[in-house]
Amino acid sequence: MPGASTDLGGAHPVYCGWEYFFIPQSGHVGLVRHMNDRDDSSLICEGSNGARKCLNYTGYEENSTIKRFKKIPKRKVALLLSYSGAKYYGMQRNPGVETIESKLHEALVKAGAISPWNADSLSKISFQRCARTDKGVSARENVVSLKVHMTDNLQENINNFLPPDIRVMGIQRCTKSFNSKNQCTARLYDYILPTFSFAKSLHLTNDTYRICQTTLTNIRRLLKVFVGTHNFHNYTSGKEFTDASAIRFIMDFTCAEPFVMEGVEFIRLSIKGQSFMIHQIRKMIGLVISIVRGLCAETYITKTFSNLKVHVPKAPGLGLLLRQVFFTDYNRKCNNGSSGGINWDSSWEALEEFENKVITPHIITTEKQEGSMGNWLIKLYSSHDFCVPENETCSSVQQAP
């Protein structure tokens, strides 16, 4: 096809399979084909004056000049992602609802990082997420691995098409075999909650409550009970005691000093483990709250690790935050070889700013406005029963609120 005008007018690149085109209308992404390909979904035609008409897959017709560029090869990268998960139904794509990945894939296509017809075929771009966060859960650091077209200013271009509560914080080249899920050696989560969660009475569940050092010491002692290798089949759904995947290793579980925001005192619990099952962290925290409040004995923790089928209360998802992911083994191998590992030190200030200006304020403000923890505590008192017959091992039990 002969060349066209070079007037690009702030255009964005769109990969069409064998070459790049620039479409001046930002956001109008088409499956651009040659006329003789007879692709009914989209055609590109050349007029007698050298101008071209592009009809994209959405049916949007555009009369403008389009310049052809050399094909840009794919490269495997690790992409660092930060997001506030409040408005989204989790990380993973889910047809019919907005998720973090659906927004990311849309932005990747519009930025020219992946071709439109690969957006729904993740295997073609080797897409993998490090952590599949649940509905409402945020992330300071989550990493996805995939193959992209390394265009100029790729990170900036992707962010131009993302909402402000989702940001790409860094892009790094990695080995072809890198898999952000399988090669993640540990994940660190935070859980931010008001200190009145640990008050002995519902009457103290208000903004004026301030936690004492004795209670903090008790919380820290209980958290240490979870450290080590245990069977967490009671902390998720659909797992039996005999299921090997229910056995998880917790490296550390800590409680920081309290802080006050918007007149409410909060604390941050931090848990580091190799991997976690769905709802596991929220149930661990829900049980600690129940014990500190005096609703069940400390020995109940040991019972949850046994072959008894017991129910464990699940704390709200609002305060949960994926803080950091680790690739220790991968980095060690890379540092011993010719290529470097995954390192986000250069993105630290941007990560800190996003957490302090977007994630944490949202958690605090939403808790103040909606009373997520207070409402959950009322349900905990009214509907949760910690009594379990000693001979009960596999029977159905009441679901936790």
Residue 134: active-site member: yes
Q: Answer yes or no: are the C-beta atoms of 292 and 219 closer than 8 Å.
A: yes
The SS3 call for residue 372 is helix
Exposed / middle / buried, residue 160 (Cβ in 10 Å: 0-12, 13-18, 19+): middle
Which residues are CB-neighbours of 177 under 8 A, at least 6 positions away?
A: none
Which residues are CB-neighbours of 158 under 8 A, at least 6 positions away?
A: 104, 107, 108, 111, 113, 168
Q: Answer yes or no: are the C-beta atoms of 124 and 109 closer than 8 Å.
A: no
- How far apart, in whole angstroms, are the C-alpha atoms of residue 345 and residue 125? 26
What would the two tokens of residue 195 be? 């200190």
Report which DSSP code applies to 53.
E
Task: Give 171's strand partners.
Answer: 79
Cα–Cα distances (Å) from 347 to 140, 164, 170, 209, 225, in that order, read 11, 17, 7, 37, 35
Amino acid at 317: G
Q: Phi-psi bin for 153: left (phi > 0), alpha (psi -120 to 50), beta?
A: left
Q: Answer yes or no: are the C-beta atoms of 219 and 198 closer than 8 Å.
A: yes
Angle between helices 372-383 and 360-370 (to 10 degrees): 60
Half-sphere exposure of 106 (CA within 13 A, CB side): 14
Q: Which of 7, 39, 40, 134 is catalytic?
A: 134
Over the Cα atoms of the chain, what is R_g?
Answer: 25
- How far apart, in whole angstroms, are the C-alpha atoms of residue 247 and residue 244? 6
Half-sphere exposure of 138 (CA within 13 A, CB side): 27
Report, as residue numbers or ranges, the catalytic residues: 134
